[in-house]
Amino acid sequence: MDGRAWQQQYRGPQFLIDRGRIRDAVARISAAAAGIEIFYPLKTNPHPEVLATVVESGCGVAISHVAEAELLRDFPASVNVGVFAPCLDPELLEHDRVRNARYMTVNSMADTDRVGESAFEGEVLIRRHDARGQGKFGCADAEAMAVCLRTKELRVGGLHVHAGTNIESAQQWRQAIAAAGAGSSLTIRNYGGGLPAQSRLDELGLALSAYLEDLAPDAILEPGRYIVDDALFCLSRILAVDDDRVFLDVGSNALPPLASSRYTVQRMIRRTGEIVESSSTGPSYALFDRGCMDITYLPRLMCAIPPETGDLVVFGRCGAYTYSLWSDFGAGRPDVTAHERLFF
């Protein structure tokens, strides 16, 4: 579709899924760390088209609660499931996609007891605090939990570590996962997520391989942002321009403020259909939404040609933790459509 066609079909804020970019991201990780298993964390973006594309690309799916398990109903039983929840409640353990999961993380002795009483037959991973004994979830004494699990005749697959999110230093990521395994006889299997989007790695001059070079060949990764952030775009229309202020028809209901998000302004599609690249120099415009909701965390619109009412602004890096956090406040939820390849 050219710029004119995007203008003609525009009816209101839209999210566009680029299925090709999802497939490319999975292929890049698989090439950088051959043999690893990838589990896509469903919470990062549970849109059915995203999920279908991720599964077609050969990834398993990481889930944490019953609502996520339900989203897998329409997918074949052969899809690998990892249950990497912060706690295991009985309803979750009874769900058929959970009973038949390949991996399950336990965080506490209570989880260990519950999984021991359940019908789960896969491998159990122990979520461990980091080397300083700190962590949002998990336990300090993984060895004690391993003994307890083995007493219950469960298979202990190793440790589960989530180093953090959007870690913009390969060294910091590698240090975090190494520290979490230090001093334990259990070899780590699941290294969690935390990789930035590829476009962000490119901006920082970092190679994906620098993150993944030390991984054991049978490792598990849960890259959410890396797989999906670059694969969604948001299309929004300019409602008014006032000096250096541009008012948009999209707000924080669709582009929520996330501490670790780095939305980009990719381009403008002018009313005429002409496509204008954003530039790094020249005049810049602050973005506002029509409802006085704060979107000042969005980057400024920078382009040599002054924006006008009716032009479309294309935002990039919109895939991770947006759709799952949308609200109806101030505006309806945007439409979402999936495409094989977008030129944005």
Ligand X SMILES: Cc1ncc(COP(=O)(O)O)c(C=O)c1O
Interface contacts to ligand X, rule CB under 6 A: 41, 44, 84, 162, 165-166, 192-195, 222-226, 320
Residue whose C-alpha is closest to residue 276's, from 235, 306, 320, 239:
306
Minimum CB distance to ligand X, residue 56 (Å): 20
CB of 216 to ligand X, least distance (A): 18
CA dist., res. 7 & res. 334, Å (int) = 16
Please, which residue, 200 or 225, has the CB nearer to ligand X? 225
Q: Pick between residue 84 and residue 120 the one whose CB is nearest to ligand X.
A: 84
CB of 170 to ligand X, least distance (A): 14
Residue (162 or 317) nearer to ligand X, CB: 162
Tell me the closest approach of the beta carbon of residue 231 to ligand X, in angstroms.
Answer: 13
Between 14 and 44, name the residue whose CB sits nearer to ligand X. 44
Q: Minimum distance from CB of 76 to ligand X (Å)?
A: 23
User: CA angle at residue 45 from 229 to 193, to 5 degrees?
Assistant: 65
Q: Minimum distance between the CB of residue 259 and ligand X, rounded to whole angstroms?
A: 12
**What is the SS3 assignment for 198-266?**
HHHHHHHCCCHHHHHCCCCCCCEECCCHHHHHHHEEEEEEEEEEECCEEEECCCCCCCCCCCCCCCEEE
- Name the residue with the smallest CB distance to ligand X: 193
User: Which of 157, 194 has the CB closer to ligand X?
Assistant: 194
Kindly compute the dihedral angle of the four CA atoms of residues 207, 226, 235, 271, in this order, to the nearest 10 degrees.
Answer: 20
Q: Which is nearer to ligand X, 164 or 330 (CB)?
A: 164
Strand partners, 62: 41, 82
Q: In whole angstroms, give the CA distance from residue 111 to residue 57.
A: 32
Separation between Cα atoms, residue 195 and residue 328, nearest integer Å: 30
